[in-house]
Amino acid sequence: MMSEGSSFMKGMILGGIFCLVMSFFETFNSGTHSEGHEHLHHHLKPVSKDELEKLSESQMSDWTLQVRVYCLIMVTPKLLVHWATANDTWSKHCDKSVFYTSESSKALEAVDLQEQDEWARLRKAIKHAYENAGDLRWFFVARPTTFAIIENLKYLVLDKDPSQPFYIGHTEKSGELDYVEYDSGIVLSYEAMRRLIGMFKDEDRCPERGHALWKTPEEKQLATCLKYSGVFAENGEDAQGKGLFNKKSVSSLISDNMGQNPADAVEACCSDMAITFAGMSPSQMQVLMYGVYRLRPYGHDFHDSLTFLPPKDSDND
């Protein structure tokens, strides 16, 4: 006959397994019921060259001046070299770039959020950016290991209305949840930010610390809160359908493509209008900065219809 102690232990084990299963479903099914907003776009592409050619010079000038980007770069002191490199390279091309840190550093300027939890820190950074954006209407969230070409980001959202909810990047799927992968950068419109800030107040659907028994990555927690707000993940693509937000470095993408398509390794690896590359070392960032902004083949003219001028008083390249 089974002892009372043995029965109790089996009950405890079965109860624990049940809790784990329920937490699993909570993690992957959260956000499946939104507020009923219609999902109007899944794959976002930039305005076509034909459409641009129909615009007058004054119209194109107005468009380029209206698209301005606030960059939120999430850093920690242990990534100080990456932090310094991002500060010295691509972030200068943002109309406003702010570094948000878990703790202060005497070496570099940043907003010290005094928060170690990554999701709680990201929430605080988003709230700070929203409150201090001024007239900027597009937001780009990145890690210091990401390299971004902000002009290509501006081109992607050129004809998009920031008063509509946009949540753009390299999309992934987890259960029923579509989310934008964090390492390759996250783009949010002003309306998406507004809804997100409102959802932060709902601790049941968008908790700051989470209810699951294991930690959910912040990119999925962000997607869940946005989905409850009626904002859905969109994959950024060029006219040929190639992804614009890359979750690997340039060298890794080319190396991968060498094995699959050696005759066309570079051409087929990435979009000509790529916006981000992830997992970059500081030296790779410096090389890419040189290649993107400084190296020019003499005699070549790419005939771009638009010019994105650097922010006022900027020392960008």
How do residues 1-55 score in pLDDT, each as one tens digit? 444 444 434 444 444 444 444 443 444 344 444 444 444 557 889 988 888 888 8
Cα 43 from Cα 197, distance rounded (Å): 25
Instruction: Quote the tokens at residue 276.
Output: 């981000």
In a domain, 309, yes or no: no
In a domain, 85, yes or no: yes
* 8 Å CB contact between 167 and 233: yes
Cα 79 from Cα 15, distance rounded (Å): 41
How do residues 228-275 score in pLDDT, each as one tens digit? 999 999 999 999 999 999 999 988 988 888 877 777 766 778 898 999
Cα 60 from Cα 158, distance rounded (Å): 10
Q: By residue range, what is the domain housing residue 279?
A: 43-294
Using only C-alpha atoms, the chain has a radius of gyration, in whole angstroms, of 22
Over range 215-229, report the average pLDDT: 95
How do residues 275-290 score in pLDDT, each as one tens digit? 999 999 999 999 999 9
In a domain, 6, yes or no: no
Q: Which residue in 134, 91, 93 sits closest to 110, CA to CA?
A: 91
Neighbouring-strand partners of residue 97: 71
Give the pLDDT of residue 26: 42
How do residues 148-193 score in pLDDT, each as one tens digit? 999 999 999 999 999 999 999 999 999 999 999 999 999 999 999 9
Give the pLDDT of residue 104: 81
Strand locations in 120-239, DSSP E? 138-142, 147-148, 167-169, 171-174, 177-180, 186-189, 233-236
Each residue of 145-162: b (16+ CB within 10 Å) or e?
bbbbbbbbbbbbbbebeb
Neighbouring-strand partners of residue 142: 73
In terms of pLDDT, which residue wins out, 124 or 52?
A: 124
Give the pLDDT of residue 268: 73
296 pLDDT above the threshold of 60: yes
Cα 294 from Cα 313, distance rounded (Å): 20
Neighbouring-strand partners of residue 154: none
Give the pLDDT of residue 83: 94
In a domain, 129, yes or no: yes
In a domain, 31, yes or no: no
In a domain, 88, yes or no: yes
- DSSP code for 37: -
Q: Which residue in 224, 176, 306, 241 sits closest to 44, CA to CA?
A: 241
* 8 Å CB contact between 103 and 77: yes
In a domain, 167, yes or no: yes
User: Where does the pLDDT of residue 306 fall: very low under 50, low under 70, confident under 90, or very high at 90 and above?
Assistant: low
Q: Which residue in 85, 84, 133, 74 sits closest to 106, CA to CA?
A: 84
In a domain, 189, yes or no: yes
How do residues 74-120 score in pLDDT, each as one tens digit? 999 899 999 999 999 999 999 999 999 998 878 789 999 999 999 99
Give the pLDDT of residue 37: 44
pTM equals: 0.83
Question: Any idea what the CATH number is for the domain that residue 253 is in?
Answer: 3.90.550.50
CA 183-186-188 angle, 5° bins: 170
User: Where does the pLDDT of residue 310 fall: very low under 50, low under 70, confident under 90, or very high at 90 and above?
Assistant: low
Provide the number of structural domains found in the chain.
1
* 8 Å CB contact between 280 and 84: no
Cα 55 from Cα 208, distance rounded (Å): 45
Give the pLDDT of residue 177: 95
Give the pLDDT of residue 263: 73
Q: Which residue in 249, 245, 246 sits closest to 279, CA to CA?
A: 249
